[in-house]
């Protein structure tokens, strides 16, 4: 025996007790009136209304009318005796009105009680639906649980549920394009089949759309071996509207929850990024101070030596070369600071374009480092004649020197830094390969962010973490691109691509 059967048996037992109590009350009232031998106009006649109202409230319209009939049969002899003995007196008329009131009370209270009971059942059904929909489960599993809950609540043999334009189906393997469910989903009108023809007894089928506003979010199909009254069909149509609204609200709530989780993740990532940026900026202040102090100290020291001592011409030339290199280094750092300030204000780098041949520019940049960095070997390979580019010569020189300087900084002494220029399909490509420790794949995109430095590179040389971000901004301002890859063998390859003129 199922839980539903037990509940039905308990309700039947309680109903029988109420009916017996009401019958006993009618019998007691009748016996009291007979013993007192009162007229039909006695105020005690209204006591008959009490058991009629109680039974109608507890058992509905049919029970209310049955109780009214029992009360009329019990009180009727008093009215008939009055009419036979004295004619149609006022007491007889009042007794007749009482008989009519019994019927009206039974019908009215029973109807209201049945309507209230149906409303309560619909409310409990919607609560059960909301509980099922509130569970954190995939839509397919939720649809199966919802169909099972509706089958128990509606007291039917089978329930089919189609949600989200047929993508989710409960109670069947899928949505047949020629089925009633597909027809109702397309037409948005309920369908009633008086006999599906699958059993000896008529099997009724009702299919109603699940609507939310002007949108149809699904279909509810109900089967029962036996009758489905007109009232039940109308209730199913109303249930379809309520169920569609509940499904739509659940979908919106799930979407809102998804958006909230995504927003929380983005806020957390942004907060972590801001914290990292703050940490990097703090480190940048210290590094910037060191980077500026180094060339300034060198310039000041050599300037004092030149002012206070006499040197041979060759020595003076050597000191002048060192001072020129340190001055260029200082100029690059200051330029990086200025470009960073423009980038943080959302402004592009200041460039003045002219049509130029990139070959001599590349050769000049490599030659500067060959004369000042004797600890490394520098190789230049230019594959044929290079097409002209529309670029700022100074900006392009800064890009090349920044990439070559980084390659020298992070390569061990005695290693080779290779610079290669070649023409590709509509672009001029510049490659700078080093033989350093390389950049981990997950950090190659981040090296172009301001202040970012690759982990475990501090011991290889100081830096502000601005050079590559400035390179990226300059290259993109020219309509090109820059990327970091693993160099053949070992190390890092930086590749710059600029649009070539036709």
CATH number at residue 441: 3.30.565.10
Beta strand extents in 168-247 (DSSP E only): 168-170, 191-193, 203-212, 215-225
Q: What pLDDT is recorded for position 4?
A: 46
Whether residues 15 and 55 fall in one domain: yes
Whether residues 361 and 458 fall in one domain: yes
Kindly report the backbone phi and psi dihedral angles of residue 209, in degrees, each rounded to the nearest multiple of 5, phi listed first.
-80, 150
**Which residues, given as ranges, of the chain have pLDDT below 50?**
1-8, 10-11, 459-460
Whether residues 47 and 150 fall in one domain: no
Residue 417: inside a domain: yes
- Taking only the tens place, the pLDDT of each residue in 409-420 is 888 888 999 999
What is the C-alpha separation between 228 and 332, in angstroms, rounded?
A: 87
Rg of the chain over Cα atoms, rounded to whole angstroms, equals 47
Residue 341: inside a domain: no
Among 238, 257, 276, identify where a domain stops.
257
Whether residues 173 and 63 fall in one domain: no
Residue 432: inside a domain: yes
Q: What pLDDT is recorded for position 7?
A: 47
What tokens were used for 329?
Answer: 């280094």
Whether residues 488 and 363 fall in one domain: yes
What is the C-alpha separation between 71 and 76, in angstroms, rounded?
A: 8
Whether residues 94 and 158 fall in one domain: no
Among 99, 129, 159, identify where a domain stops.
129
Whether residues 73 and 153 fall in one domain: no
Whether residues 151 and 200 fall in one domain: yes
Whether residues 33 and 156 fall in one domain: no
Among 103, 129, 155, identify where a domain stops.
129
Helix or strand holding residue 444 (H, E): none
Whether residues 394 and 473 fall in one domain: yes
Q: Please tell me what DSSP assigns to residue 443.
A: G
Q: What pLDDT is recorded for position 11?
A: 47
Residue 347: inside a domain: no
CB 164 within 8 A of CB 158: no
Kindly report the backbone phi and psi dihedral angles of residue 326, in degrees, each rounded to the nearest multiple of 5, phi listed first.
-65, -35
414: Cβ contacts below 8 Å, ≥ 6 apart:
375, 376, 377
CATH code at 241? 3.30.450.40
Residue 384: inside a domain: yes
Whether residues 494 and 377 fall in one domain: yes
Q: For the chain, what is the domain count? A: 3
Residue 302: inside a domain: no
Whether residues 24 and 88 fall in one domain: yes
Residue 360: inside a domain: yes
Q: Rounded to whole angstroms, what are the CA distances from 198 to 147, 149, 473?
A: 21, 24, 74
CB 455 within 8 A of CB 442: no
Residue 8: inside a domain: yes
Range of the domain at 463: 354-499
What is the C-alpha separation between 401 and 386, in angstroms, rounded?
A: 19
């Amino acid at each position: 025996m199922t839980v539903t059967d037990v509940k039905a048996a308990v309700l039947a037992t309680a109903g029988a007790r109420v009916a017996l109590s009401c019958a006993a009350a009618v019998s007691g009232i009748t016996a009291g009136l007979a013993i007192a031998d009162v007229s039909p106009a006695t105020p005690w006649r209204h006591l008959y209304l009490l058991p009629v109202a109680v039974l109608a409230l507890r058992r509905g319209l049919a029970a209310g009318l049955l109780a009214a009939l029992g009360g009329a049969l019990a009180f009727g002899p008093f009215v008939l005796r009055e009419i036979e003995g004295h004619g149609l007196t006022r007491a007889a008329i009042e007794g007749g009105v009482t008989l009519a009131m019994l019927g009206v009370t039974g019908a009215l209270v029973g109807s209201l009680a049945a309507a209230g009971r149906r409303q309560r059942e619909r409310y409990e059904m919607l609560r059960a639906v909301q509980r099922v929909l509130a569970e954190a489960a995939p839509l397919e599993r939720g649809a199966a649980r919802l169909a099972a809950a509706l089958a128990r609540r509606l007291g039917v043999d089978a329930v089919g549920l189609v949600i989200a334009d047929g993508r989710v189906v409960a109670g069947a393997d899928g949505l047949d394009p020629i089925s009633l469910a597909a027809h109702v989903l397309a037409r948005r009108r309920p369908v009633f089949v008086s006999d599906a023809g699958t059993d000896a007894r008529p099997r009724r089928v009702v299919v109603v759309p699940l609507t939310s506003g002007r949108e149809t979010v699904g279909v509810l199909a109900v089967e029962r071996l036996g009758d489905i009254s007109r009232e039940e069909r109308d209730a199913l149509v109303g249930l379809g509207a309520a169920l569609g609204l509940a499904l739509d609200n659940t979908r919106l709530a799930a979407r809102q929850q998804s958006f909230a989780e995504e927003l929380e993740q983005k806020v957390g990532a942004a907060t972590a990024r801001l914290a990292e940026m703050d940490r990097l900026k703090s480190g940048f202040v210290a590094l910037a101070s060191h980077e500026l102090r180094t060339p300034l100290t060198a310039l000041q020291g050599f300037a004092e030596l030149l002012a206070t001592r006499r040197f041979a011409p060759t020595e003076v030339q050597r000191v002048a070369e060192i001072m020129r290199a340190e001055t260029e280094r200082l100029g690059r750092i200051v330029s990086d600071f200025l470009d960073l300030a423009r980038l943080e204000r959302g402004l592009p780098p200041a460039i003045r374009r002219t049509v130029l041949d990139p070959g001599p520019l590349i050769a000049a940049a490599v030659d500067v480092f060959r004369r000042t960095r004797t600890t490394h070997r520098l190789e230049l390979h230019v594959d044929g004649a290079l097409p002209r580019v529309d670029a700022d010569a100074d900006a392009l020189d800064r890009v090349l020197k920044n990439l070559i300087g980084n390659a020298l900084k992070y390569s061990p002494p005695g290693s080779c830094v290779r610079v290669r220029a070649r023409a590709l399909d509509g672009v001029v490509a510049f490659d700078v390969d080093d033989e350093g420790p390389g950049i981990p794949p997950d950090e190659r995109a981040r090296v172009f962010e301001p202040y970012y430095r690759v982990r475990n590179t501090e011991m290889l040389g100081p830096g502000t973490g601005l050079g590559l971000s400035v390179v990226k901004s300059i290259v993109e301002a020219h309509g090109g691109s820059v990327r970091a890859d693993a160099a053949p063998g070992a190390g890092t390859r930086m590749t710059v691509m600029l649009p070539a003129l036709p």
